[in-house]
Chain A
């Protein structure tokens, strides 16, 4: 039996259900396991893992996808050397890091604040919560598109509303080197604050009443209650949200491409956007593959931490 288990997916027939099912007629548990899981794993191998290995291979070559006839030359780690030695690439990574840090910081504050308010359980809270959730389900690319309209400096409603409160004249959110990084942070915050909020709410609802009662008995003030009871309890949920959204924003592409397409200059040129430029506009496939591998490794590492957090939160 132990030997069977070592051969990949095979499962010992008898020990199937932990509840100790008697041996059933028909397909054995082991056959069902293989039949049920294999198609999914095969599809993922074909469409995710095989291409991944291909990317790793290409990253050591000078391949260009727009010249399929050209001989593929193995150039060792030169792509990686060029990549890590390039100040431009570090600039894109810096822009990405700024985007991730600012979006997370603002969204955690807003999301946590909203969750605490909604948790007051006022009348109509479920309705308004649903309204707040809508932006995060929308298509990021389409959101990016229509925000370019809202951000129009002369005729857009964003500039108009800001000017209702402070007459600063037309605000060119997308065209200005200083404002463009904030333009993408604002749209991401509009879209994804509900995500952080929803997880914070889940955290708040997991806190048993007796903890607050105990705090009351101990005469803890509101701040102490928040610091010693609420915060530690929602922290795992908040971590989960920040990790997931952090990873998503690290690979941000669609919304920003439509909103600023990396500009002006390269102020909002995030890693994924530059990757697309290298791979599908300059057609430096080998170089782009090396960039892709570096992003893969980073995301994979973060993903590992995320899954650990996921399992910790799981009830």
Chain B
């Protein structure tokens, strides 16, 4: 099923050209918002709200400095009294009559996203691999119902689920903890992980395990030594999908965390500068937050279809 399956023969060169022009036009338009946000990250605050919007501007790292620091406004005399700026970012901030007073919370929130993302991904993929193998290879009573049950947990509106989770976590002392968020994201990702991984296990011929068992392996050994190595690519793809979900999640993070375990998505929109949102800083945070996802998307492009249909559509 490669090129031959596309349509009868080939489209005429003129048709191809027209199709190409239209698709490229759409792709370029669709990229404007992203490119614009990346550019805004390198603008100064005044340049970010100038009219008309500036396409060409003098790039500055002010947005990134503001993103990672807290600052206070000082009189020029006070700044003078500090002596020359020691670092380039000190100098940058002083141009606006500001002094860096400390680190902002962004780095911490970003790290929370990393910890909770990787923690929940690991657990979801670990549990999912086991369940997927059992679902694929053994007769499980009520298999279809169980699989539907697992999928249905993902379809629930997050805000509705958050009400009882909020109460439960309050009782258990899991509110605003990394562990609480990891467990929650694991549960939400489990459905995707089981469904996707089952598809991958289904594709591995049973003959390999049978041969291993005949050779004296126990069923468990056959799973670990024969099946798992063949699932590597599938596990990697599944892990990336789980990671992206946990990374992007907002509703639970907003409602169940406030400080210690807060992830980046609820934090980025509230990066305040003087007189409202600090757009270059917000754009800088957005850029740093989105870049990993874009990289993963490009890496995953062949598996994307599978990921977004829970493994039902494979090509």
Q: CB of A150 within 8 A of chain B?
A: yes
> In the bound complex, do residue B266 and residue A141 qualify as a contact, i.e. CB atoms below 8 Å apart?
yes
Q: A251-B157, A275-B160 are in contact. Are A315 and B314 (CB under 8 A)?
A: yes
> In the bound complex, do residue B163 and residue A289 qualify as a contact, i.e. CB atoms below 8 Å apart?
yes
Residues in A whose Cβ lies below 8 Å from that of B254? 141, 257
How many B residues are at the interface, by size bracket?
35 or more
Give bound CA distance, A208 to B282, whole Å.
49
Q: CB of B296 within 8 A of chain A?
A: yes
> In the bound complex, do residue A190 and residue B30 qualify as a contact, i.e. CB atoms below 8 Å apart?
yes
> In the bound complex, do residue A295 and residue B157 qualify as a contact, i.e. CB atoms below 8 Å apart?
yes
Q: A51-B164, A120-B11, A146-B282 are in contact. Are A131 and B30 (CB under 8 A)?
A: yes
Q: A24-B218, A120-B11 are in contact. Are A19 and B210 (CB under 8 A)?
A: yes
> In the bound complex, do residue A198 and residue B218 qualify as a contact, i.e. CB atoms below 8 Å apart?
no
Going nearest first, the 10 A-B pairs with the smallest beta carbon separation are A26-B218, A51-B164, A292-B160, A141-B250, A139-B248, A122-B20, A120-B19, A251-B157, A36-B134, A47-B187
Name 27 interchain pairs, CB-CB below 8 A, sorted by A: A12-B139, A17-B137, A17-B210, A26-B220, A27-B220, A37-B131, A47-B183, A65-B167, A117-B19, A117-B22, A120-B15, A122-B17, A132-B27, A137-B297, A139-B265, A142-B265, A146-B37, A146-B282, A149-B282, A190-B33, A198-B304, A209-B7, A253-B251, A279-B159, A279-B163, A295-B157, A304-B148
Give bound CA distance, A293 to B157, whole Å.
10
> In the bound complex, do residue A157 and residue B36 qualify as a contact, i.e. CB atoms below 8 Å apart?
yes
> In the bound complex, do residue B127 and residue A213 qualify as a contact, i.e. CB atoms below 8 Å apart?
no
Label chain B's interface by main secondary structure.
helix
Q: CB of A254 within 8 A of chain B?
A: yes
> In the bound complex, do residue A213 and residue B157 qualify as a contact, i.e. CB atoms below 8 Å apart?
no
Q: CB of A280 within 8 A of chain B?
A: yes
Q: CB of B138 within 8 A of chain A?
A: yes
Given contacts A16-B219, A41-B150, 11 further A-B contacts (CB under 8 A): A5-B141, A120-B11, A122-B19, A128-B23, A130-B298, A130-B301, A157-B36, A253-B158, A303-B151, A306-B155, A314-B312
Q: A120-B11, A139-B247 are in contact. Are A237 and B131 (CB under 8 A)?
A: no
> In the bound complex, do residue B187 and residue A44 qualify as a contact, i.e. CB atoms below 8 Å apart?
yes
Give bound CA distance, A47 to B158, whole Å.
12
Q: CB of A140 within 8 A of chain B?
A: yes
Give bound CA distance, A147 to B36, whole Å.
10
> In the bound complex, do residue A253 and residue B159 qualify as a contact, i.e. CB atoms below 8 Å apart?
yes
Q: Closest B-chain residue to A136, C-beta based? A: B308
> In the bound complex, do residue B190 and residue A40 qualify as a contact, i.e. CB atoms below 8 Å apart?
yes
Residues in B whose Cβ lies below 8 Å from that of A97? none
Q: Closest A-chain residue to B3, C-beta based? A: A121
Task: Find the residue from A5, A21, A120, A130 having the highest chain B CB count within 10 A.
Answer: A120
Contact with A32, one of B159, B219, B249, B301 (Cβ below 8 angstroms): B219
Residues in B whose Cβ lies below 8 Å from that of A251? 157-160
> In the bound complex, do residue A43 and residue B16 qualify as a contact, i.e. CB atoms below 8 Å apart?
no
Q: CB of B56 within 8 A of chain A?
A: no
Q: CB of B233 within 8 A of chain A?
A: no
Q: A40-B130, A114-B26 are in contact. Are A313 and B283 (CB under 8 A)?
A: no
> In the bound complex, do residue B220 and residue A205 qualify as a contact, i.e. CB atoms below 8 Å apart?
no
Chain A stretch 262-315: residues in CB contact (< 8 A) with chain B = 271-272, 275-276, 279-280, 285, 288-289, 291-293, 295-296, 299-300, 302-304, 306-307, 310-311, 313-315
Residues in A whose Cβ lies below 8 Å from that of B157? 251, 253, 271-272, 275, 292, 295-296, 299
> In the bound complex, do residue A58 and residue B8 qualify as a contact, i.e. CB atoms below 8 Å apart?
no
> In the bound complex, do residue A9 and residue B190 qualify as a contact, i.e. CB atoms below 8 Å apart?
no
Label chain A's interface by main secondary structure.
helix
Q: CB of A11 within 8 A of chain B?
A: yes
Q: CB of A54 within 8 A of chain B?
A: yes
Q: Closest A-chain residue to B186, C-beta based? A: A43
Give bound CA distance, A21 to B210, whole Å.
6
Q: Closest B-chain residue to A201, C-beta based? A: B305
Q: CB of A98 within 8 A of chain B?
A: no
Task: Convert B180-216 into 0s and 1s, putting 1 for each residue whose CB lies closer than 8 angstroms to a CB of A.
Answer: 0001101100100010000000000011011001101
- Expressed in whole angstroms, the minimum distance between the Cβ of B270 and any Cβ of chain A is 9
Give bound CA distance, A314 to B314, whole Å.
8
> In the bound complex, do residue B248 and residue A138 qualify as a contact, i.e. CB atoms below 8 Å apart?
yes
